Chains A and B, each alone.
Chain A
Amino acid sequence: MKPKTLGEKYSYTFIMPALLMLFLFVAVPTIIAFFLSFTDYSILGKPRFVGIQNYRFALHDNVFRKALFNTAYYAILYVPIKVILSFLIALALTQSFINYKKTFMIFFYLPVLTSMTASSMIWLWIYQPDMGILNGILSALHLPRSQWIYGKSTVIPSISTITIWKDFGYDVVIFVAGLSGIPKELYDAAKVDGAHGWSMVKNITLPLLKTTSLFVIVTSIIASFQVFTAIYIMTQGGPENASTTVVHQIYLNAFSYLKMGRASAMSFVLFVIILFFSLIQFKIIRVEE
């Protein structure tokens, strides 16, 4: 009996540091944020209870609504294009006749290694309206120039182009791992039965890749709702709020306007959106198991 209790005691020593850190820097902050979201608080002075006013404000404020819309628009471009593209690339890479698979993967992974800050700087230069290479190419082809990140209708697609470029390599690696896990015999058997090309993809690859795809899709959706750095560096939400996003609004309200209560309420709106997608993922994975 004694050694077992001793083992238990040790187990708690093993997990204690982690629990302490998570308690202090995740659990407690979440509770504080929840309370703050019902107050008016500017760091100076004490929080003043205001009920659900912050939530009401967030959902009626034109700028925050615009931010929700922009974020959703960004997600609708970013998620499907990136996931489908990464899947097709991974499918191409795992064909048995492909050589230099590693080399290709290294090339695709270079943007993933680059910080969002550095990527934003590079693309600021590419999108530069007067001297940038993209408008240079358009001019050379006698096509109308674009305002890219400086145009109201082009800014969100331009930003999602950058993040798709930056992130797809990560998904390629995950999809390649998933595809390599599918037993080759399944394809051989299907071939004997006369299946080929897309029918094999549809009937073997996609069903067996369901968990992997779901993981990639849900993590992409969650990431897309958190877009911030590119916006902060390249557009500051402009022109005329055409690219402000949920996290950009949280940042501005908290650290520029010092409306900490309002920003906390906005962060809980984001939390609910993300929770919705996380729960879908948990649920589907549960069902699989």
Chain B
Amino acid sequence: MGKSKNGMKLLVYVFLIFIAILSLIPFLWSIDSSLKTVKYNYAHPLSWRPKPVAFGNYVKIFTMFSFGKNFTNSLIYAGGKTILTLIICPPAGYAFARKKFKGRNVIFILILSLMMIPSQVLLIPTFLILKNFPLVGGNNILGVGGTGFLDTYWGLILPTAVTPFNIFLMRQYFLTLPKSIEESARIDGASEFRIYWQIALPLALPALTAISIFSFQGAWNDFIWPLIVLRSRNLQPLTLGLQVFQDENFDLWPLLMAATLVTTAPMLGIFAIFQKYFFRGVSFIGTSK
């Protein structure tokens, strides 16, 4: 009995370690490749030992693509979207969870049904709405004459900032808080806004962190929306900026790998700090359905 139990333990560990290696190997291999000179990589593409170790690649890439500019653009897109989400979604979720008002359930079900619309249906019309947005980007009041929000940060941020899903998640979280928390404040005569702002919102920190992380990550890693909305190179986020390496000569693998890893690093940094919230957030999504 004990022997078979140990055998079982060993088997489970071997399985997990094998999967862990599979998850990590593409990264390890790209790190390794990123440290080879282009010439050495061409001659010895399969060697795991870069000779000489070309740390210089990590300097060279900054002259090839405007990492700083791309990085700032990613930050503005992801940060802007997250801030807008945090301003708009939690109060809506709060009202749907904690308040009674006419049409509440009907409106909420309508919002939920919007969740079923795939974002690809929205690509073309949203592009047209941005292009014809009145009074911006050279447009007149009828939305004609200019390019509207196309090729601007707002064009990236506005259409993706508010999702039915984030409102739903906030509502589910506020539902779990006990009713009593607002009541004493209400008896003390606090205004509805103060109750929300000073009492309910601080208690919802875990849910707020979750929607922030996923909004940020979604925008940081987004590809298709910037691809459609942006024309100018100097507005491109990292995901689009990386493509310059594809336009170039394809033997530059070590440089492409270095650039790829550099674009991935910020997200890993955020994960290192907020790791607990990432896992909690995903678990929350999986169990609140």
The interface of chain A, by Cβ under 8 A from chain B, is 6-8, 10-12, 14-15, 17-19, 21-22, 24-30, 32-33, 36, 43, 85, 88-89, 92-93, 95, 97-98, 104-111, 113-119, 121-123, 125-126, 128, 130-133, 136, 165, 169-170, 173-178, 181, 211-212, 215-216, 222, 225-226, 228-229, 232-233, 247, 250-251, 254-255, 260, 263-264, 267-268, 270-271, 274-275, 278-279, 285
Asked if B278 and A10 make an inter-chain contact with CB atoms under 8 angstroms apart, the answer reads no
A117 smallest CB distance to B (angstroms): 4
Query: What is the bound-complex CA distance between A130 and B251, given in angstroms?
Result: 11
Is B139 part of the binding interface, using a Cβ–Cβ cutoff of 8 Å?
no
Name B211-244 residues within 8 Å CB distance of A: 217, 220-221, 223-224, 227-228, 238-240, 242-243
The interface of chain B, by Cβ under 8 A from chain A, is 9, 12-13, 15-16, 19-20, 22-24, 26-27, 29-30, 33, 41-42, 45-46, 87-89, 91-92, 94-96, 99-102, 104, 107, 111, 114-129, 158-162, 164, 167, 192-193, 196, 217, 220-221, 223-224, 227-228, 238-240, 242-243, 245-246, 253, 256-257, 260-261, 263-264, 267-268, 271, 275, 278-279, 282-283, 285-287, 289
Task: Closest B residue to A278 by CB, please name it.
Answer: B116
**A250: B residues at CB distance < 8 A:** 120, 123
Asked if B122 and A30 make an inter-chain contact with CB atoms under 8 angstroms apart, the answer reads yes
Interface residues of A, dominant DSSP: helix
Query: What is the bound-complex CA distance between A24 and B119, given in angstroms?
Result: 14
Query: What is the bound-complex CA distance between A19 and B228, given in angstroms?
Result: 25
Asked if A132 and B162 make an inter-chain contact with CB atoms under 8 angstroms apart, the answer reads no
Task: Closest A residue to B27 by CB, please name it.
Answer: A110
Interface residues of B, dominant DSSP: helix
Query: What is the bound-complex CA distance between A204 and B118, given in angstroms?
Result: 35
15 inter-chain pairs at a CB distance below 8 angstroms, sorted by A residue, are: A6-B192, A18-B91, A30-B117, A108-B19, A109-B278, A117-B240, A118-B242, A122-B30, A122-B260, A126-B26, A174-B287, A212-B287, A226-B120, A267-B123, A267-B124
Task: Closest B residue to A279 by CB, please name it.
Answer: B116
Task: Closest B residue to A16 by CB, please name it.
Answer: B92
Given contacts A14-B91, A19-B111, A30-B122, 20 further A-B contacts (CB under 8 A): A7-B99, A22-B164, A26-B114, A30-B117, A32-B129, A89-B19, A108-B20, A110-B24, A114-B267, A115-B239, A121-B242, A121-B260, A125-B30, A174-B286, A216-B286, A233-B246, A247-B120, A268-B121, A271-B121, A274-B116
